[in-house]
Amino acid sequence: MNKILALIVLIPIVLFSAEPSVYGAGNLNSENPYGLSASEKKIVQNSKNVKSLEKQIKMMQLNYSQLQEKFDGTRSVTESISNKIGKIDSRINDVIGNDNNKSNTLENLQNEIDELKQQLNNNITLQNENQEKIKSVLAELSSLIDSINTNYVSKDELNKLVKTKSRKNSISGKSGAQLFRDADKYFKNKSYEKATVRFKKLVSMKYKPARSSFKLGEIAYYQKKYNQAIVYYKKSIALYDKASYIPTLLYHTGISLSKLKKNSEASNFFNALKSNYPTSKEAKSLKK
């Protein structure tokens, strides 16, 4: 058994680095990401929400530009009408100083003034309406920008929130025995995220730390995170090397090493399995 333990201890540290997903699982930059954790799913949804808000902002900015053009246009017309009225006032003063055809000329000028005043009033009303619309658009733009600032959360921040929530979610206050039953139930149902949270809590509580570490290794193994699986297997066997699950631990360690192209190291574990547990189903499977 000491030989088995030595094999675990001598596994190169380089094997324990994070393993990149071969098929792209967990890639948040993918158009259709898959194999995401709960926090990564929230990040993807969060990103979609932010992109939607950004599209709305672009539409609002376009609307604002169009309204600003209308506002500038009505202001230009207003200035033009005001200039015309000023010129008519000047002509009226000229007519007043000249008695010839005074009555007809004044009447015509008055008609022009009345028409221009009506145009001016209409234009001022339109200008005020456009100004109110611009204020509304700017307020909405400000609200959308605030929404982006509110909705945007970094990956690290989200992970912290999710981890904090997960720890508080139905694990606080429970005994080690109850927690282990819950973790094992989630493991059997392949609810690996919930099982992981509970097994890690059990390890920190030092309640069945060897078995809990083995279970964490199994979760990583079934998720094809072979480097991580080896780390947990090593910790488990270092804590207790006479457990009933040791044949499975050796077998899965060997397979994990094979997946990582460490065939020589894998052979050592397979040989240890056959030598120390020749009647186990795992050892028998190697003879086929």
Q: Please enumerate, as own/partner, the contacts of 181-188 that have beta carbons within 8 Å and a separation of 24 or more.
A: 183/212, 183/215, 184/215, 187/215, 187/218, 187/219
Cα angle 123, 126, 127; round to 5: 85
Q: What is the pTM of this model?
A: 0.46
Phi-psi region of 37 (alpha: psi -120 to 50; beta: other; left: phi over 0): beta
Q: Would you state the torsion angle of the CA atoms of residues 18, 228, 223, 28, taken in this order, to the nearest 10 degrees?
A: -20
pLDDT at 229: 95
pLDDT at 184: 94
CATH class entry, domain 2-19+169-286: mainly alpha
pLDDT at 21: 35
Low-confidence ranges of the chain (pLDDT < 50): 9, 11-25
How many CB atoms neighbour CB 84 within 10 A? 16
